[in-house]
Chain A
Amino acid sequence: MGGMRWLRVNLFGDWKTSLATLMVGLLFMYWLPQLLDWALFRARWLTNADACRLDGAGACWSVVAEKYRIILLGRYPQEEQWRPLIATCLMVGLLVASCLRACWRRGLIVAWVAVLTTFFILMYGDVAGLSKVETDRWGGLPLTILLASLSIPTAFPLALAIALGRRSNLPAIRSLCTIFVELVRGVPLISVLFMASFMFPLFMPPGLSIDVLIRVLAGISLFSAAYMAEVIRGGLQSIPRGQEEAAATLSLSYWQTQRLIVLPQALATVVPGLMNNFIAIFKDTSLVTIVSLYELTGALSLALNSDADWRPFKIEGYIFIALIYFTFCYAMSRYSLWVEREVNKGKAR
């Protein structure tokens, strides 16, 4: 397609599209230079706070350079910060590996167990000469990634059981599962987190106290299990009835039918849906700030609220962590599109 033709098709089809092009184009020409000027040309990169306050200074990225340790790692002791760094890299590596087709084998489960164990040993310490770091000092990106990725292996089995339960022909089990899903989906996550932080201690036998991180993790897992169960149920419903009937004529039992016939087909179709679920959980981990755990969003407030010099540049800090969230979520949504295409390959005609 020639350049002129391309222009005509995409930008100047008739007078209405031309008008739209002109208007949007003019807006771009007006705003884009201003934005670039603020964000790049007049920005301060590695200066002190006073240089950012001068007239004519644009964005103050120095705040990120100055505070990145607290923003990314929270209140973790300064001299021990190599530990969360390695732990985070391991965890991200594991997540990336779990997404690659070449790694989809039994060994992956072993890798998950190994990496999670290493993660906790590195972060918590108290063995092998590492000093002990209580969970209330964990924070920043490692906490965000931990909350998001741990909620998958904990929520998935529960979600699977609930999804199967909602389609069971045993009325008591069906209604229990339905009630759970509808109850959880009807309330906001923040109320579940309040429950985990205020009410959970009351639920436990006297004398037994559970770490707030575990409580919050349990809350997030239960919450996401309900949503995940609905996605899986959608997949189960997409399998034609004839499949189960065929399995029955082969005299397979209920569990054999599910394990060998229904689930392999159903789970393949719901992978993109589960990915969307995971993106939602990743974003929702930011809510634990409200119950005073300092993950990425909380760590930013921690870094800037107490420092009067840098506090005026909080917006730059917000943009920085927004970019981190965006990078993770955007990568995941692209990946989910790829999986969708892969899954549908067999169905293409």
Chain B
Amino acid sequence: MKSPPKKRWSWRSRTARGLIYQGLAVLLIGLLFWFLAHNTARNMTVRGIQSGFDFLAQTAGFDIGESLFAFDSEQPYWRAFLVGLVNTIRVAALGIILTTVIGTLIGIGRLARNLLVRSLCGAYVEFFRNVPILLQLLMWYLLFTEILPAADAAWRLNTWLGPVFLSKGGLNFPAPVATETGWEISLPIQGEFAVEHGGALTPEFLALLLGLTIYTAAFVAEVVRAGIQSVPRGQTEAASALGLSRAHSMRLILLPQALRVIIPPMTNQYLNLTKNSSLAVAIGYPDVVSIANTAINQSGRAVECIAIIMLIYLSTSLLTSVLMNWYNAKAAIRER
């Protein structure tokens, strides 16, 4: 192969200008960062703010309302952040599962032949999509803390597993617990002041889960609807020509094909739900942002705490994208 003729270097050549532009851009960004870092360092010395991540090993000095593992104020900050992280993951994972189910049902419902079902699902989407998630969370929290009966007069619902209680104290339900002899089911009992035993979910957790699920389900419903509508009409007609019922053609023909269109925007909705779970700080659920907020107020290490929040969310987002891309690659059309 012949190498291209060597061009004379000139200010007017495209390559040269490209190099100059890029050099300038990098220089500008570099200067900006240097300026910010320099100011921050100076401000910190002037105000006597300590910096560094060494505070993570110090005693936290605050208690956390709910935690999957034992935590008290004697333990270090990093354990507190871990509790927050686990709480975030717990609400996000449950929320993602619930929102997928509810959103898919409502999305399918928007395409129903029945006018009542169709318009009911449409009204759901329009209403919940157009009201800020923070406001919805605050409303759910208010419902859980004001409208429900007090814990000594909880609503009781008998299920085949055992009683379920709902009150200002949260939701109490039968749950398996480990004992010396193995697993057994612990049933909640109405105590004098509160519901005791069994598994329990706090009103903060319930409000956050419900708010996130109901808000995101409205968006998921739209994603699902658009996905189903992207499947050509001929597919439905072919399915009914084969004598498949509407439910069958939805399950066997439409949804599998729609899935390819649905997965990428669905990933975005999952990420949104996870990021929106940071609003827990407004209703006092101890997720990672609320813990960081408390830690900022206690230790004064704003820069470090905010960096930790951002790092955690960035890695969660990245992890979710990787997982969903893998799933997307599996669901994609295999072409020759």
Contacts and interface: CB of A to CB of B under 8 A. Distances in A.
Interface of A: 9-11, 13, 17, 20-21, 24-25, 28, 169-173, 176, 183, 185-191, 194-195, 198-199, 201-206, 279, 283-284, 286-287, 289-290, 297, 312, 314-315, 318, 321-322, 325-326, 329-330, 333
Interface in B86-118: 112-117
B309 A191 contact: yes
A189 B133 CA distance: 13
A289 B131 contact: no
Contacts of B44: 202
B117 A326 contact: no
B294 interface: no
B298 interface: no
Contacts of A186: 310, 313-314, 317-318
B116 A24 contact: yes
A329 B131 contact: yes
Contacts of A318: 135, 138-139, 142
A206 B22 contact: no
Contact of A202 (B40, B115, B132, B278): B40
Mostly, the A contact residues are helix
B135 A325 contact: yes
Interface string B111-127: 01111110010000011
B113 A10 contact: yes
A312 B39 contact: no
Mostly, the B contact residues are helix
A171 B135 CA distance: 43
B243 to A, nearest CB: 15
Contacts of A13: 113-114
B141 to A, nearest CB: 10
A199 B49 CA distance: 12
Contacts of B296: 194, 198
Given A190-B289, A204-B39, A321 B115 contact: no
Given A186-B318, A206-B42, A286-B132, A11 B114 contact: yes
Band of interface residues on B: 35 or more
A244 to B, nearest CB: 15
A191 B310 contact: yes
A286 B49 CA distance: 31
A45 B117 CA distance: 33
Contacts of B40: 199, 202-203
A330 B302 contact: no
Contacts of A286: 132, 134-135
B329 to A, nearest CB: 20
B281 interface: yes
B132 A203 contact: no
A161 to B, nearest CB: 11
10 contacts: A13-B114, A173-B21, A176-B29, A187-B313, A190-B281, A198-B306, A203-B39, A204-B39, A289-B282, A333-B129
Q: Which 6 A-B pairs have the closest CB atoms?
A: A329-B130, A10-B115, A172-B22, A188-B275, A198-B302, A283-B132
B281 A333 contact: no
A297 B26 contact: no
B314 A170 contact: no
B275 A170 contact: no
B310 A187 contact: yes
Given A186-B318, A194-B293, A286-B132, A20 B116 contact: yes
Contacts of B26: 172, 176
A185 B316 CA distance: 12
A176 B131 CA distance: 35
B185 interface: no
Contact of B142 (A172, A198, A315): A315
B36 interface: yes
A11 B146 CA distance: 39
B311 to A, nearest CB: 9
B276 interface: yes
Interface in B2-34: 18, 21-23, 25-26, 29
Given A190-B279, A287-B279, A173 B135 contact: no
Nearest to A11: B115
B115 A326 contact: no
A223 B49 CA distance: 28
